[in-house]
């Protein structure tokens, strides 16, 4: 049934006939020719389990509804952990967007700051790490490769802004000082563990089979009309779930005009969405933190144990590699606080070891 | 020793009480008895830090004071013998548990005095200050 452009009226009719819980609407993607739509689907699983096999596995995934250990409903958007919706454009780079969104949220969670300005480079993820692994806009990729890139580190988006289309890895000059890295990632196949991860550590990445009617999604809880035909595989970021109504809440990368302001809800057990999800274990707290205001000081009667509160990143311990270092650091953060100077500090595993004031 | 980490966060910008300079008065004999002595019966400040507050009694256990202002400091040429004068409270001796801990507490207390920032601090049954937040 795939057409160019999509026949949204026909999709709406089928949704009604089947009694599905979502609405279809014309949008920028339904107006595209089929190849331009499908190139946005870049989730290509490695050898071992196909998208169809993942879909079959997800269909029988058990959900322990309202189980102990995690809330029955959770939406990371209400906590402020979710960064703005992006648009991957005409490139099968959804894996870069689905994983980067999860890491950006993990950065906010790790720093307990929902207002933290974090925007990491999907371009580096896809055109550097992905390209080295053989991924192109046409072939797509898979989250484990992208997340391994995040273990090495990814720059902020301004260092390598994203544009759609295969290109060289073109990082800015001081890219080594601008990396954000994760401590590791975990592939999760148990739905309770997925919900625990999302509600405690932050959003996760997931890939699923896209049927052609999905492009026309407007609002509601999506489940497919399989007769619309398989269009391909897609990777997104799962930001929440609801056990009462049995759906996942996902952040897409097709712009804020698509779906529910860029998000969609998808029913449990459909399209392989809950066959596997990828969670972020933690953020490596190393690198420069610029333009920070010292908002607090703390000391205790223990040897060489004093902390400064950075406006965006919270409490950070001062290096105590020597008595001279400790007192010098403490003197400088005190002076910065007294003067109202913004500071740039370098952290190594969460400890302040260099200060510009 | 396992290092402890801070658990409180600063209030929103602009919150806090700013205190003007205050005159000193001599503490009474009874008030002086309330001050902790420290190792080897160290010397202690003999003047109050405010004309209003009297020296506070030493609490039996862990006590937090919040949103206070440090208006005076006192020190003498004795090891680990540094005190803060707190508006509305009186003199509080800084913990003598370690050299660097005592100096760090004294340093950030000085910062609070200079900037008129509000402080929250913890005292124990020994009457000494063991932990300070400066916001």
Q: Are residues A242 and A295 in the same domain?
A: no
CA dihedral A111, A114, A118, A123 (to 10 degrees): 110
pLDDT at B14: 53
Tokens of residue A53, six digits? 């096999």
Is residue A186 pLDDT above 60, yes or no? yes
Question: What average pLDDT does this structure show over B4-19?
Answer: 65
Residues B100, A334: C-beta atoms closer than 8 Å: no
Q: Which of A266, A283, A300 is the last residue of a domain?
A: A283
Q: What is the mean pLDDT of chain B?
A: 82
What are the chain A neighbours of B13 within 8 Å (beta carbons)?
Answer: 295
How far apart, in whole angstroms, are the C-alpha atoms of residue A276 and residue A203?
Answer: 13
Please indicate, yes or no, if residue B100 is contained in any of the structural domains. yes
Measure A53 CA to nearest chain B CA, in Å. 48
B131 pLDDT tier (thresholds 50, 70, 90): very high
Q: What angle do the packed helices A323-339 and B99-115 form, to 10 degrees? A: 10
Per-residue pLDDT band at B17 (split at 50, 70, 90): very low
Q: Which tens digits make up the pLDDT trace of A7-51?
A: 999 999 999 999 999 999 999 999 999 999 999 999 999 888 899
**Cα–Cα distance for residue pair A126/A121, rounded to 1 Å:** 9
ipTM field: 0.72
B54 contact A CB<8A: no
Percent of chain B's residues with pLDDT above 90? 41
Give domain status of residue B52, yes or no: no
More confident: A66 or A85: A85
Which of A301, A309, A334 is opposite residue B107, by nearest beta carbon? A334
Domain around A297: 287-356
Task: Answer yes or no: do A269 and A332 share one domain.
Answer: no
Q: Quick check: is B128 in a domain?
A: yes
CA distances from A229 to A1, A181, A214 (A): 6, 39, 10
User: Do A133 and A254 share a structural domain?
Assistant: yes
Q: What is the rounded distance in angstroms from the CA atom of residue A345 to the CA atom of residue A354? A: 6
> How sure is the predictor about A68, in pLDDT bands with cuts at 50, 70 and 90?
confident
**Assigned domain for A2 exists:** no
pLDDT tens readout for residues B45-98: 877 666 456 666 677 789 999 999 998 888 888 889 999 989 888 889 999 999
A327, A218: one domain? no
A1: in domain: no
Using a cut of 0.90, tell me whether the model's pTM lies above it.
no
Domain contains A346: yes
Residue A173 within any structural domain of the chain? yes
Task: Say how far apart CA A126 and CA B41 lie, in whole Å.
Answer: 68
Report the number of distinct structural domains present in chain B.
Answer: 1
Residue of B nearest to A296 (CA): B135
The pLDDT value recorded for residue B45 is 80
Name the average pLDDT for chain A. 95
Residue A331, CA atoms < 13 Å, CB-side half-sphere? 7
Put simply, the answer to whether A306 touches B108 (Cβ < 8 Å) is yes
Compute the distance between CA of residue A299 and CA of residue B6 in angstroms, rounded to an integer. 8
pLDDT of residue A117: 94
Given phi > 0 = left and psi -120 to 50 = alpha, else beta, which region is B88?
Answer: left
Which residue, among B18, B97, B134, B135, would best test binding to A if mutated, counting the most A CBs under 10 Å from its CB? Answer: B134
Q: Tell me, yes or no, whether A221 and A323 share the same domain.
A: no
pLDDT band at A57 (very low <50, low <70, confident <90, very high): confident
Give me the torsion for CA of A149, A155, A156, A159, rounded to 10°.
-130
Residues of A carrying an active site annotation: 94, 234, 252
Q: What is the CATH number of the domain that holds B99?
A: 2.40.50.50
Asked whether residue A19 falls in the same domain as residue A152, the answer is yes
What tokens were used for A263? 């998000």
Asked whether residue A324 is assigned to any structural domain, the reply reads yes
Domain of A343: which CATH number? 2.40.50.110
């Amino acid at each position: 049934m795939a057409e160019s452009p999509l026949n949204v009226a026909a999709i709406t009719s089928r949704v009604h006939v089947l009694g599905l819980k979502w609405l279809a609407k014309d949008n920028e993607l339904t107006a595209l020719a089929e190849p331009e739509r499908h190139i946005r689907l870049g989730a290509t699983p490695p050898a071992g389990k196909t998208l169809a096999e993942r879909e079959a596995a997800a269909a029988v995934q058990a959900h322990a509804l309202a189980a102990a250990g995690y809330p029955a409903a959770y939406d990371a958007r209400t906590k402020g952990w979710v960064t703005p919706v992006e648009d991957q454009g005409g490139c099968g780079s959804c894996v870069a967007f689905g994983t980067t969104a999860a890491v950006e949220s993990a950065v906010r969670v790790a720093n307990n700051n929902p207002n933290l300005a974090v925007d990491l480079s999907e371009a580096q993820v896809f055109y550097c790490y992905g390209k080295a692994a053989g991924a192109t806009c046409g072939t797509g990729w898979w989250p484990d490769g992208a997340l391994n890139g995040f273990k090495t580190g990814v720059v902020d988006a301004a260092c390598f802004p994203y544009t759609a289309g295969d290109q060289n890895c073109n990082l800015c000059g001081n890219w080594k000082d601008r990396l954000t890295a994760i401590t590791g990632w975990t592939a999760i196949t148990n739905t309770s563990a997925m919900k625990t991860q999302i509600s405690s550590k932050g959003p996760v990445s997931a890939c699923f089979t896209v049927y052609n009617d999905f492009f026309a999604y407007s609002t509601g809880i999506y489940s497919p009309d399989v007769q619309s035909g398989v269009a391909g595989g897609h990777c997104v970021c799962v930001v929440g779930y609801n056990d009462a109504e049995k759906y996942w809440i996902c952040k897409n990368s097709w712009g804020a005009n698509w779906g529910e302001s860029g998000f969609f809800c998808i029913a449990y057990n459909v399209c392989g969405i809950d066959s596997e999800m990828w969670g972020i274990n933690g953020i490596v707290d190393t690198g420069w933190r610029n333009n920070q205001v010292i908002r607090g000081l703390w000391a205790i009667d223990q040897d060489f144990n004093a902390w400064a509160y950075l406006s965006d990143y919270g409490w950070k311990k001062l290096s105590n590699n020597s008595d001279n270092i400790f007192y010098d650091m403490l003197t400088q953060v005190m002076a910065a606080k007294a003067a109202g100077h913004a500071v740039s500090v370098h952290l190594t595993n969460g400890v302040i070891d260099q200060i510009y004031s | 020793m396992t290092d402890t980490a801070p658990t409180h966060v600063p209030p929103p910008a602009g919150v806090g009480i700013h205190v003007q300079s205050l005159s000193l008065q001599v503490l009474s004999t009874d008030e002086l008895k309330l001050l902790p002595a420290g190792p080897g019966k160290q010397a202690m400040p003999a003047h109050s830090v405010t004309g209003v507050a009297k020296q506070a009694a030493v609490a039996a256990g862990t006590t937090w004071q919040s949103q206070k202002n440090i208006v005076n400091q006192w020190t003498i040429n004795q090891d680990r013998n540094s005190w803060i004068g707190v508006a509305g409270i009186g003199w509080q001796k800084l913990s003598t548990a370690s050299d660097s801990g005592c100096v760090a507490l004294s340093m950030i207390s000085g910062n609070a005095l200079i900037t008129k920032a509000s402080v929250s601090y913890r005292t124990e049954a020994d009457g000494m200050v063991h932990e300070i937040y400066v916001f």
